[in-house]
Structure 1
Amino acid sequence: MQVQFNTRTILPSVYRTEKDGKEKVYLSTTVFSPQRYNLSPAAGVMPVEQIEAVLAECADNAQEVEIQFVESQTKFGAQMQIFSVKPLAKKNIMESKP
């Protein structure tokens, strides 16, 4: 069986909290409409810990990433289940074009 993923470029955001000595990371992004999606790293192409780390780092650095995902609706709202992530080169908005 072959599974096909969607690909999209996003700018992730991260919210960190600590409870009972354990850090919890919540990841999300806003797309088009704007519509907010919860991001849920999933095992597959990359390990979950690696996906979380890349998304959190890119969120901290305001860096876009390309993701492979499937979209679903949960009781908490729209969700993107992410199977792989690739950081994109940061754009220099101050760079003038010839």
Structure 2
Amino acid sequence: MQVQFNTRTILPMVYRTDKDGVTKAYLSTTVFSPQKFNLTPMAGMMPIEQIQAVLEECADNAQEVEIQFVEAQTKFGAQMQIFGVKPLPKKDLTQPQKP
């Protein structure tokens, strides 16, 4: 069986809660319309813990990432199930953009 993944560049956001001494991180992103998607790391090309850590770090640093994902609709709304991530270099906004 072959699975086809989509690729998209996103800016992840992280919301952390601390309950009973356990810290939980919720990941999301907003794309196009704007439409908000919940992000769910899934086992695949990278370990779940590594995907979670990369997304959290990029969210903290306002850094874009390229993701490999599939879209799903859950009872909590639209979701991107992420199987791989690649942080992109931060853009230097002080330099003129090349055409």
The alignment's TM-score, normalised by the length of structure 1, stands at 0.97
Q: Kindly tell me: are residues 20 and 7 of structure 1, through their superposed partners in 2, closer, same or farther at Cα, counting changes over 3 Å?
A: same
Q: Which residue of 2 aligns with 1:72?
A: 72
Distance 1:22 1:48 in 2: 18
Gaps of 5+ in 1: none
**1:1-98 residue pairs with structure 2 within 5 A?**
1-96=1-96
Equivalent-residue separation in structure 2 for 1:77 and 1:97 (angstroms): 36
Q: Secondary structure at the match of 1:91?
A: coil
- Percent sequence identity is 77
One-letter amino acid of the counterpart of residue 93, structure 1 = L
Q: When the two structures are aligned, how many residues end up with a matched partner?
A: 98
- State the one-letter code of the partner of 1:87: P
CA distance change for structure 1 residues 28 and 97 in 2, over 3 Å: closer, same or farther? closer
* Poorly superposed stretches of 4+, deviation over 4 Å: none
Could you tell me the TM-score, scaled by structure 2's length?
0.96
Please report how far the alpha carbon of residue 92 of structure 1 lies from its aligned counterpart in structure 2 after TM superposition: 0.5
Whole-angstrom CA distance in 2 between matches of 1:75 and 1:30: 18
Q: CA RMSD in A?
A: 1.1
1:96, CA displacement in angstroms?
2.6
Q: Which runs of 5+ in 2 are unaligned?
A: none
Shift of 1:8: 0.3
Q: CA deviation at 1:53?
A: 0.3
